[in-house]
Amino acid sequence: MNEFIIIKTIEVSALEITAQGMIAENKQREIEGASMAYTEEDFVLIAKQIQDVAQQIRLKKNRTMKTIWKEKDVVMLGTSDQNCPIFKHPTEEKLRVGLGVQNHEPLHPRDRSQHLYILSDEEIKEGDWYYSSLDICSRDDRGIRNFMPEPEDLKYSKKIIATTNPKLLTTRISVDQDFNESYIPVPQVPQSFVELFAKEQGIDKVLVEYKETGISQERGGRTVGMTTESYGFKQALKLTNNEINIKLI
C-alpha cells in the first residue's frame, strides 16, 4: 500500500470517528433533554466527504500510472536564427542536424535554418503561442499581438505545445532588482527527436505523452478532492526538464 492510499485511508477513519462522536453527542443531549448538536445535514456532509475520499482511493488504484499518448501535428518553419537545431537545403530538400547549441553553422552555404513546432487543437488561452497561416503568434491579456489575426480567427489556428525555438516564452518566474524579468520557454522538443526528424527527412504526425492530475474544488474554504462530474483527472503534458516525451506513430 503506497503513501497516498495510507493517507486517504486515515482520512476516512478520521471522518468515521468524527461521525461516531457526533452520534454520541446527540445521544447525550437527548438524555439531557437538550436539542441535538448535529442535524441530518451535518451527517450528510460527513458521508459526502467519506465518499469523496473513497472515490479518490479507487481512482488512484485504477490509474496504475496509465500512459496517455496523443497524436499531434509537426511543422517545420524557417528562421533567420542560426542558433537552431536543424537545417534544410533549398534545392535538395535534405534535412541536416545542427552542429551544437553554441556553434550552429549551416553544413552547406545554401542551407536554411529551421525550427520545429508541435501543434495541437487544444484551446488557445491567454499567454499561449499558436501557429496561424500568417505567422507564429502570441496571445496575452491584451489580446493578439505581432500583427496577428483577430481573436475570432483563432479557430483557424493551432496551439504550439512544444518547439525547438527557445524564444517562445510563457510563464514569468522572477523579476530581479533591476526589474529584469525571467520566463519559462514553451516546452522544448528533445534533441533525440530532432535527429530522428532529420533522419526520416520530415514527419508530419507524432505521439506526445500526457499525464493525469487530479482536479480539486474548494468547498467551505478547503479543498475536498476530485469533484468533477466523473471524478476524473485533467490531462497535461508530461515534461522532463521542460522537454516533452515524443515518438513516431
Please give the radius of gyration of the chain, using alpha carbons only, rounded to the nearest integer: 26
Sequence-distant (6+) residues with CB within 8 A of 164 are 84, 85, 86, 115, 116, 188, 189, 194
Task: Report whether 197 contacts 149 (CB < 8 A).
Answer: no
Q: Which amino acid is at 171?
A: T
Q: In degrees rounded to 5, what are phi and psi of residue 92?
A: -80, -15
What confidence score (pLDDT) does residue 153 get?
Answer: 61
Sequence-distant (6+) residues with CB within 8 A of 172 are 181, 182, 183
- pLDDT string in tens for the chain (249-residue length): 567 777 888 888 888 999 999 999 999 989 998 999 998 889 889 888 888 888 777 776 655 556 789 999 998 888 777 677 777 766 666 777 764 433 444 445 555 788 899 999 998 887 788 888 667 777 654 333 444 445 556 777 889 999 998 888 886 665 556 666 677 889 999 999 998 998 888 789 999 999 876 554 444 444 444 333 344 567 889 999 999 999 999
Task: Report whether 187 contacts 242 (CB < 8 A).
Answer: yes
What confidence score (pLDDT) does residue 177 get?
Answer: 63
241: left (phi over 0), alpha (psi -120 to 50) or beta: left
Q: What is the pTM of this model?
A: 0.61
What confidence score (pLDDT) does residue 223 get?
Answer: 40
Alpha-carbon distance of 139 to 130, in angstroms, equals: 8
